[in-house]
């Protein structure tokens, strides 16, 4: 656990200029439409990677800002499991011979992270969890859709493995959110 905390601290400090990095991200990087992300490998990989990137980034902020043990535990789980789902998608893409586009946070995601960085401490947990529910709902739509009708069998199988993970995250976020209201 100490190694994990040290690794998280290293990532947090390396990402300290997060707002500056987000400001330089092209504003036109948008999440692909659901119909495309659930059927075509490249858009799926971008949308899944973008979702994982948001979950990890927002969880890193949560580790810095929350004072609630349950929210801290949730954030740690998001970092660990979304790192695993990213790695699984990348491995499946490699097997399928698909080069995934690098994920980029779109403008709305960058704004959500900025909000997390700026929100008063007393409102942090409810704001963070308020973002987690819809972001996991959207991620669940993407992975479920691709698992059903994606164009690459290896990626469909990886998406199918990811579905219960994201569904569990959604349930966790909903339960935590209902406790913070």
pLDDT value at position 36?
Answer: 84
Q: Render pLDDT for 133-150 as a digit per residue (tens, 0 to 9).
A: 999 999 999 999 999 999
pLDDT value at position 129?
Answer: 97
Give me Rg for the CA atoms of the chain: 16
Measured distance CA(22)–CA(168) in Å, rounded: 29
Second CATH level (architecture) for the domain 37-180: Up-down Bundle (1.20)
Mean pLDDT per 10-residue interval, the chain, length 181 residues:
39 38 44 83 95 98 97 98 96 95 94 98 97 97 96 96 97 92 63
Terminal Cα-to-Cα distance of the chain (whole angstroms): 30
pLDDT value at position 22?
Answer: 37
**Three-state SS for 119?**
coil
pLDDT value at position 181?
Answer: 63
């Amino acid at each position: 656990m100490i190694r994990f905390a040290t690794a998280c601290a290293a990532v947090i400090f390396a990402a300290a200029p997060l707002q500056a990095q987000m400001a330089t991200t092209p504003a036109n990087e948008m999440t692909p439409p659901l119909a495309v992300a659930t059927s075509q490998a490249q858009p799926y990989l971008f949308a899944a990677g973008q979702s994982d990137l948001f979950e990890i980034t927002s969880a890193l902020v949560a580790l810095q800002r929350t004072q609630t043990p349950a929210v801290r535990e949730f954030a740690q789980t998001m970092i660990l499991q979304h790192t695993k789902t990213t790695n699984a998608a990348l491995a499946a893409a490699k097997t399928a011979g698909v080069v995934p586009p690098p994920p980029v946070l779109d403008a709305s995601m960058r704004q959500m992270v900025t909000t997390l960085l700026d929100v008063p401490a007393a409102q942090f947990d409810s704001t963070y969890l308020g973002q987690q529910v819809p972001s996991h709902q959207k991620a669940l739509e993407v992975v479920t859709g691709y698992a059903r009708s994606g164009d690459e069998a290896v990626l469909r199988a990886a998406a199918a493995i990811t579905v219960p993970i994201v569904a569990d995250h959604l349930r966790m976020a909903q339960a935590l959110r209902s406790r913070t209201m």
